[in-house]
Amino acid sequence: MAVQTPTRATAGAPTRSARPETGQPWKERWAGLFFVAPFLVLFAVFLLWPTFSGLWNSFFNTSLSGIKGEFLGLQNWREMFNDPAVWSSLRNTLVFTAMSTPPLVVIALVMALLANRKGLLGWLLRFSYFAPFVLPATVVSLIWVWIYQPGFGLVNGLLTAGGFAEIDWLNTENRAMLAVVITTVWWTVGFNFLLYLAALQGIPAQVYEAAAIDGANGRQQLFRITLPLLSRTTGLIVVLQLVASLMIFDQIYLMTDGGPNYATRPIVQYIYQNGFTNYRIGYASAISYLFFVIIVIISVLQFKLFSGRKEARG
């Protein structure tokens, strides 16, 4: 070792000094690939391959049971466009998104404004607003199923104590979705709240100081300074929230199982039922692709709106 070490050092020295002229040695160029390889492999195996095999499967009657699938051409796609359950579950997903996104953004903002203060109260508010977010979907669903229970649930207990009639939240067709939305807001608003809080704390104090010197009151400061400076964060939150709401599955599957009478069944659950409960991977793939296209369209529209506003401001 003692002999080899200096040899290597002297051999290595010219290579290093020569690097700028000859470009990177192959070893180092490959090193870069090695560093991204773990991600690339996972990306290819768990994202690229399933994406293309899903498209491929949508033209076959592939079955989970291992029976050889036959080529169907566009039959799955035709079946999908004529299947009322596809459209009703897609509508449920869109209704959930439309109902859940506004409160999840607005309430998060209000909570962030309230919690953006120093001292014990600020700490307590921050903690209690974010706490539900760390719970798993199963726990949240269990808690809320009991809260909504007619007869002995908390919500109906409050309603009857206030002189109102009981509502069978999870088993009434036009109430169940609202119940799931309330649960979802309670559970996930903490994440958006955190993003808003971080953005709020990023606004320099001297901006407010200058405004105060110019005689701006709290209201004016809120609408003229805080909200405009938060608009980029709002754009980000709306995009993230739309995508998250479109993927709704967990809470609904656990709380209502898509009921009553499929009034809350989202498209993801219908895909799951076809693909896994009924083994029809081919048909489930076709519906997945329809949903994939819709998400892409919504995301592109969102991105256009968002970047357009940024340009207008800049």
Partner 1 sequence: MPPPLPRRRAVLGGALLGALALTGCGTFSSRPKVREWNLFGGGDGARLLQIHQQYVAEHPDVAFEAHTLAWGPPFYTKLAMSAAGGRAPEVATLHLSRLKGFSPTTMLDPIPTDLLEAAGIRESDFLPETWNRCVVDGKLYAVPLDQHPFVLYYNTEICQKAGLLGADGKIKPVKGVDAFLEMLTAVKETTGKFAASVETTNPWRMWWTLYGQLEGKFFSDDGSRLELDDAKALEALQLMAKLAADGLVPRSANYPALVAQFTNGDAGLSFNGEWEVTTYQTAKMPFSMAPFPVVYDVPKFAGDAHTFVLPRQSNRNQDDTKATVEYIAWMLKHSAAWAAGGHIPSYQPVVSSQEYLSLKPQAEYRSVAPDVLFDPDAWFSGSGAQLQEEAGAAFSGVFSGQATPQAALAQFKAATQTLLDTPSPV
- The residues that touch partner 1, with contacts defined as CB under 8 A, are 1, 5, 8, 61, 63-67, 145-146, 149-152, 168, 170-173, 257, 259-262, 273, 276-280
199 close to 230: Cβ distance less than 8 angstroms = yes
Q: How far is the CB of 199 from partner 1 (least distance, A)?
A: 40
Between 7 and 206, CB nearer to partner 1:
7
β-bridge partners, 280: 63
Q: How far is the CB of 89 from partner 1 (least distance, A)?
A: 12
Residue partners of 226: CB distance under 8 A and separation at least 6: 113, 200, 203
Q: How far is the CB of 132 from partner 1 (least distance, A)?
A: 22
Q: How far is the CB of 258 from partner 1 (least distance, A)?
A: 8
Between 168 and 211, CB nearer to partner 1:
168
Between 190 and 282, CB nearer to partner 1:
282
Residue 170 falls in which region: left (phi positive, over 0), alpha (psi -120 to 50) or beta: alpha
Between 101 and 269, CB nearer to partner 1:
269
Q: How far is the CB of 167 from partner 1 (least distance, A)?
A: 10
Between 190 and 275, CB nearer to partner 1:
275
Amino acid at the residue 168:
D
Between 109 and 263, CB nearer to partner 1:
263
Q: How far is the CB of 201 from partner 1 (least distance, A)?
A: 41
Rounded-to-integer distance, Cα 286 and Cα 79, Å: 9
Q: How far is the CB of 87 from partner 1 (least distance, A)?
A: 14
Rounded-to-integer distance, Cα 120 and Cα 118, Å: 7
What tokens were used for 273?
A: 């039922």
Amino acid at the residue 195:
L
89 close to 270: Cβ distance less than 8 angstroms = yes
Between 28 and 173, CB nearer to partner 1:
173
Between 235 and 260, CB nearer to partner 1:
260
How many CB atoms are located within 10 Å of the residue 28 CB?
10
β-bridge partners, 60: 71
Q: How far is the CB of 9 from partner 1 (least distance, A)?
A: 9
